[in-house]
């Protein structure tokens, strides 16, 4: 979640939603996202809504955050009325593992208390390998978490240094081993490729380590140089070389080829899973236009065509809720066309693709041209879907622009 909030319409203070948005609740999967806005240190590439203890001072603490979170979840339960039990929960950040196993258990209890969970609910937390231990994993498993997503980024020390990642190179793999030993079936490792100074061997070493760790899910992201980050300043000053799209494309192909030959299959542009069961249901719900409540500072939500997002700063977030008001900063009610556009731009990123019926006539014609360009799959097209080819995955945004008026 990037740090600046988009422009939107004013959101009502009591958090109410239009009745037509709430009406379809339960007919789609319902997820809960919880944003933990704390980090031990800030990484040089990160522009997420996260704060170090030093930055927050006394204005917000994990304790006051948890209190505010409970208030928001209560509000959510009221606003949604007969909300269905959550089929997915995702605790992200920030660094959720900084809350400790107890803290994470409390978070999940709060979610359970507000909505309940389905019996097969997928419950994920992100974790920084440095703040985990065998006991940590055992405890959160007991608390009800079913999946852990670990930030590995790279195993190359010089790459980690540029990213400002503090962990020792072997730690993510070890952490994954501990989590598996504790009984976690579903584990993800995050990789970042295309960091200035990264060589193909560095990426190969990272991929080898990921495969050694025995996880069933990998997310690999090209490093995005976000405005206002330390790394962006260093590139601007010429201290670091800038990233080149052609190199990023080669790295992506390297990632895809290594993972594919090791039993992983892509199911979203930046996500690979070892089995269908290993796919992250929570994220799929984003991409398939499902409903979710995002709780916590700066978190985004979507229910039945209404998107809204919370105020960013933890202190303001807590204060607003303490006054009994919704923490939403702004919202937007999507038009039919907005929803169609979102379907195209989200579903096209998925391996399952997009039904051609979502496109208008000229969109279908464009899709046909994209097929002949080798960017969309011929067989999928014949079966009525727009599905990216390997080459098309790298050009997905451009294809979306072609498919829409």
Partner 1 sequence: MATFADTTFTPPERIRNFCIIAHIDHGKSTLADRMLQLTGVVEERAMRAQYLDRMDIERERGITIKAQNVRLPWVVDDEEIVLHMIDTPGHVDFTYEVSRALEACEGAILLVDAAQGIEAQTLANLYLALENNLAIIPVLNKIDLPAADPEKYSRELAHIIGCEPEDVLRVSAKTGEGVRELLDAVVRQVPPPVGEDNAPARAMIFDSVYDTYRGVVTYIRVVDGRITPRERIRMMSTGAVHELLEVGIISPEPKPSAGLGVGEVGYLITGVKDVRQSKVGDTVTSERKGATEPLAGYREPRPMVYSGLYPLDGSDYPDLREALDKLRLNDAALTYEPETSAALGFGFRCGFLGLLHLEITRDRLEREFGLELISTAPNVVYRVVTDDGTETTVTNPSDWVDGKIMEVYEPIVKTTVICPSEFIGTVMELCQARRGQLGGMDYLSEDRVELRYTMPLAEIIFDFFDSLKSRTRGYASLDYEEAGEQTANLVKVDILLQGEPVDAFSAIVHRDAAYTYGTRMATKLRELIPRQQFEVPIQAAIGSRVIARETIRAMRKDVLAKCYGGDITRKRKLLEKQKEGKKRMKMVGRVEVPQEAFVAALSTDETGDKPKGKK
Instruction: Provide the binding-site residues for partner 1, judged by CB under 8 A.
Output: 1-2, 6-8, 33, 221-222, 224, 245-246, 248-250, 252, 269-270, 283, 286-287, 292, 294, 298-302, 307, 309, 332, 338, 341-342, 345-346, 349, 369, 373, 375, 393-402, 404-405
* Residue 41 · residue 166 · CB < 8 Å: yes
* Residue 196 · residue 243 · CB < 8 Å: yes
- Measure the CA–CA gap between 303 and 305, rounded to whole angstroms: 6
- The residue among 11 and 182 lying less far from partner 1, judged by its C-beta, is 11
Q: Which two tokens stand for residue 268?
A: 């979203």
Cα dist. 169→76, 207, 208, 366 in Å?
Answer: 41, 13, 13, 46
φ and ψ of 31, to 5 deg: -120, 160
Task: Give min distance, CB of 382 to partner 1, in A.
Answer: 22
- The residue among 21 and 141 lying less far from partner 1, judged by its C-beta, is 21
Task: Give min distance, CB of 118 to partner 1, in A.
Answer: 19
* Residue 315 · residue 60 · CB < 8 Å: yes
* Residue 386 · residue 356 · CB < 8 Å: yes
Task: Give min distance, CB of 395 to partner 1, in A.
Answer: 5
Task: Give min distance, CB of 57 to partner 1, in A.
Answer: 25
- The residue among 139 and 250 lying less far from partner 1, judged by its C-beta, is 250
- The residue among 38 and 90 lying less far from partner 1, judged by its C-beta, is 90
- The residue among 66 and 330 lying less far from partner 1, judged by its C-beta, is 330
- Measure the CA–CA gap between 36 and 132, rounded to whole angstroms: 16
- The residue among 28 and 61 lying less far from partner 1, judged by its C-beta, is 28
Task: Give min distance, CB of 219 to partner 1, in A.
Answer: 9
Task: Give min distance, CB of 220 to partner 1, in A.
Answer: 8
Q: What region does 325 belong to: left with phi over 0, alpha with psi -120 to 50, or beta?
A: beta
- The residue among 35 and 71 lying less far from partner 1, judged by its C-beta, is 35
Question: In terms of Cα–Cα distance, which of 61, 59, 16, 15 is closest to 36?
Answer: 61
226-233 long-range contacts, CB within 8 A, separation 24+: 226/2, 226/3, 226/45, 226/46, 226/47, 227/47, 228/3, 228/47, 229/44, 229/45, 229/46, 229/47, 230/44, 230/45, 230/164, 231/44, 231/45, 231/162, 231/163, 231/196
- The residue among 137 and 317 lying less far from partner 1, judged by its C-beta, is 317
376 bridge partner residues: 388
Q: Which two tokens stand for residue 314?
A: 């933890």
- The residue among 172 and 298 lying less far from partner 1, judged by its C-beta, is 298
Count CB neighbours of 122 within 10 A. 24
Task: Give min distance, CB of 252 to partner 1, in A.
Answer: 7
φ and ψ of 333, to 5 deg: -100, 120
Task: Give min distance, CB of 396 to partner 1, in A.
Answer: 4
Task: Give min distance, CB of 269 to partner 1, in A.
Answer: 6
């Amino acid at each position: 979640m990037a740090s600046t909030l988009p422009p939107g319409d004013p959101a009502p203070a009591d958090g109410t939603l239009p009745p037509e948005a709430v009406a379809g609740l339960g007919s789609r999967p319902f997820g809960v996202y919880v944003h933990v806005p704390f980090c031990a240190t800030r990484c040089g590439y990160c522009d997420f809504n996260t704060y170090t203890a030093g930055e927050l001072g006394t204005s917000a603490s994990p304790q006051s955050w948890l209190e505010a979170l409970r208030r928001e979840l209560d509000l959510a339960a009221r606003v949604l009325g007969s909300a269905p039990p959550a089929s997915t929960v995702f605790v992200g950040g920030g660094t959720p593992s900084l809350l400790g196993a107890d803290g994470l258990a409390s978070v999940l209890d709060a979610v359970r208390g507000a909505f309940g969970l389905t019996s097969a609910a997928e419950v994920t937390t992100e974790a920084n390998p440095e703040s985990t231990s065998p006991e940590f994993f055992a405890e959160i498993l007991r608390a009800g978490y079913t999946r852990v997503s670990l930030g590995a980024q790279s195993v190359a020390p010089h790459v980690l240094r540029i990213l400002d990642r503090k962990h020792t190179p072997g730690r993510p793999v070890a952490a994954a081993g501990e989590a598996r030993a504790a009984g976690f079936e579903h584990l993800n490792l995050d990789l970042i490729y295309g960091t200035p100074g990264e060589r193909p061997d560095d990426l190969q070493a990272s991929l080898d380590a990921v495969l050694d760790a025995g996880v069933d899910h990998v997310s690999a992201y090209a490093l995005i140089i976000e405005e206002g980050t330390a790394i962006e300043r260093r590139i601007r000053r010429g201290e670091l070389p800038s990233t080149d799209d052609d190199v990023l494309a080669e790295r992506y192909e390297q990632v895809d080829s290594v993972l594919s030959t090791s039993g992983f299959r892509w199911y979203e542009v930046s996500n690979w899973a070892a089995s269908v069961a290993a796919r992250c249901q929570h994220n799929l719900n984003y991409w398939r236009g499902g409903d979710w409540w995002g709780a916590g500072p700066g978190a985004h939500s979507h229910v039945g065509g209404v998107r809204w997002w919370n105020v960013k700063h933890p202190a303001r977030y807590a204060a607003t809720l303490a006054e009994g008001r919704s923490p939403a900063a702004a919202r937007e009610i999507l038009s039919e066309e907005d929803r169609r556009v979102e379907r195209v731009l989200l579903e096209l990123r998925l391996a399952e693709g997009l039904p051609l019926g979502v496109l208008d006539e000229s969109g279908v014609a464009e899709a046909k041209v994209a097929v002949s360009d080798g960017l969309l799959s011929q067989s999928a097209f014949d079966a009525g879907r727009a599905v990216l080819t390997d080459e098309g995955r790298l050009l997905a945004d451009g294809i979306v622009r072609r498919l829409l008026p």
